[in-house]
Amino acid sequence: MKSAVHLSLFALLAALCQSVLAASPADLAKAEEIVMGKCFICHGAEGESSSPVFPRLAGQHAAYTARQLADYKSGKRVSSAMRPMVEDLTPADFKALGAWFESRKTHLHKVEDPEIAQMGRLIFTRGNPYSGVAACQACHGPRGHGTETLPRLAGQHAQYTENQLKAFNKRERTNDNAVMHTVASKLTELEIKAVAAYISGLE
């Protein structure tokens, strides 16, 4: 059991190092310049946005962030705020920004409503078999760390997570996994708030 855990931790660290090392020091320096010139306004200088309207990007998977930026530029993901920010950036910039944000330190965040978060824990870990809602951890992992293709959710602003689930439900967000449309459509308002609250406290 211990060896399996150690192997999993080693694999996780190796993946993180590989994604960061894939970007050269010059690329990371360019990414930091872009962050300080544009991104910090909404997402913070270290990817820890101060407003729940904007996502925390610290620790987010490099490939996932790069893909979202490319989708904003192509119009596949719609945002009147993000489109002007990325229109003069290149795929190489997106890759470097992804590596830079993934290298930022994540933090443990206080949950605003611990009681409702406990209900969210059930949705996250077990889903709701009575309404057909799948457990979030089935795709995003038991700690909400996601994968290269699925986003890290741990520590995300509760309000941002709520907004994204509602956007999936209304088909206002269509650039990501279509499975989310089905999942979101089955969640009640209370379940959305609860699971978002639980996710916000994961590290």
Predicted pLDDT of residue 5: 42
Class of the domain covering 114-200: mainly alpha
CA–CA dist 153, 143 (Å, integer): 9
pLDDT in tens, 7-57: 444 444 444 445 444 689 999 999 999 999 999 999 999 999 989 999 999
pLDDT in tens, 137-158: 999 999 999 999 999 999 999 9
Predicted pLDDT of residue 177: 86
DSSP three-state, residue 145: coil
2-102: CATH topology: Cytochrome Bc1 Complex; Chain D, domain 2 (1.10.760)
One-letter amino acid at 107 equals: H
Sequence ranges of the domains in the chain: 2-102, 114-200
Q: Cα(first)–Cα(last) distance of the chain, in Å?
A: 23
